Amino acid sequence: MKILIVEDEAELLEVMIQTLSKNGYIVDHALDYKMALDMIISYEYDCILLDITLPGGSGMDLLSEIVQRETREAVIIVSAKNSVGDRIIGLQQGADDYMSKPFHLAEMAARVGSAIRRRNHNGMKWLKWNNIKIYPEKREVRVGSEDLALTKKEFDILYYLIVNQGRVINKISISEYVWGDITEKVNNLDFLYSQMKNIRRKLSEAGARIDIQAVYGIGYKITGREEEID
């Protein structure tokens, strides 16, 4: 899962990146308004940690941009301003949560997980589609009653496809979500094709009732009949 931290305090930013990286997230960061806006427009994230006061602009304006784009990111406002008014305005404008500085890093990681779960999983700690269950916080996958062993990258790809089930996902979008902006520095996407081949093989061998379809010239789409959560 991919996180964007919009924060201009260097020391705080560093420890936030370290904590979230240790919790298994891919973490991007932006130091000012313009950089953050470019990142939000260019990439997709599961959660954005957004400081209100930024060089070059307001975090509240960035929040409005995120909400207008109608994307699926959870947004947590992070601010030294600890007033009820600021909290109410942020939440009314579409933020999912609000943290006041200073905060405990363990609490930050927990709030990120909760915000993503509420936004993407209807509050559940797992996703279910046909005979597959994905537990994002534990990074585990089960097919029926059996565990499915996936690498970190394979898990991230499968999770991203299932969260976006029914949609054709561009190859570049998948690569940027899993590998970050390193995608811009490579000449081909052979690394993605290799990962897809492995995921398909593992799902097939485990008896998973889903299919990852290649859409020629565009990307991939995960298909299968969605069942009710039991």
Residues 24 and 62 reside in one and the same domain: yes
Domain-embedded: residue 209: yes
Q: According to the model, what pLDDT value does residue 114 have?
A: 84
Q: According to the model, what pLDDT value does residue 228 have?
A: 40
Residues 102 and 194 reside in one and the same domain: no
Q: According to the model, what pLDDT value does residue 230 have?
A: 40
Instruction: Provide the domain count of the chain.
Output: 2
Going by C-alpha positions, the residue among 22, 15, 17, 46 that lies closest to residue 152 is: 22
CA distance 180 to 167: 21
pLDDT tens, per residue, the chain with 230 residues: 789 999 999 999 999 999 999 888 889 999 999 999 999 988 889 899 999 889 999 888 999 888 888 777 899 998 876 666 677 777 778 888 888 888 899 989 988 988 887 776 666 678 888 889 998 878 899 998 899 999 989 999 998 888 887 788 888 888 888 877 655 555 667 888 899 999 999 999 999 988 888 888 888 998 875 444 34
Domain-embedded: residue 148: yes
Please give the model's pTM, rounded to 2 decimal places: 0.66
Residues 83 and 132 reside in one and the same domain: no
Residues 145 and 72 reside in one and the same domain: no
- Are 72 and 119 in contact by the 8 Å Cβ rule? The answer is yes
From 120, 150, 174, the end of a domain falls on 120
DSSP string for 89-113:
HHHHTT-SEEEESS--HHHHHHHHH
From 89, 120, 151, the end of a domain falls on 120
Residues 13 and 35 reside in one and the same domain: yes
Domain-embedded: residue 229: no
CA distance 89 to 210: 42
Residues 137 and 60 reside in one and the same domain: no
- Are 209 and 130 in contact by the 8 Å Cβ rule? The answer is yes
Sign of CA dihedral 99, 102, 108, 110: negative
Domain that includes residue 157, residue range: 127-223
CA distance 89 to 57: 17
Domain-embedded: residue 228: no
Strand runs (DSSP E) across 84-189, as ranges?
A: 97-100, 127-129, 132-135, 140-143, 146-147, 169-170
Local structure of 86: helix, strand or coil: helix
Provide the Cα torsion 117, 75, 152, 16; round to 10°.
Answer: -120
Contacts of 78 (CB under 8 A, 6+ apart): 7, 49, 50, 51, 52, 99, 101, 103
CATH code assigned at 211: 1.10.10.10
Domain-embedded: residue 230: no
Residues 50 and 6 reside in one and the same domain: yes
- Are 104 and 84 in contact by the 8 Å Cβ rule? The answer is no
CA distance 1 to 8: 23
Residues 179 and 105 reside in one and the same domain: no
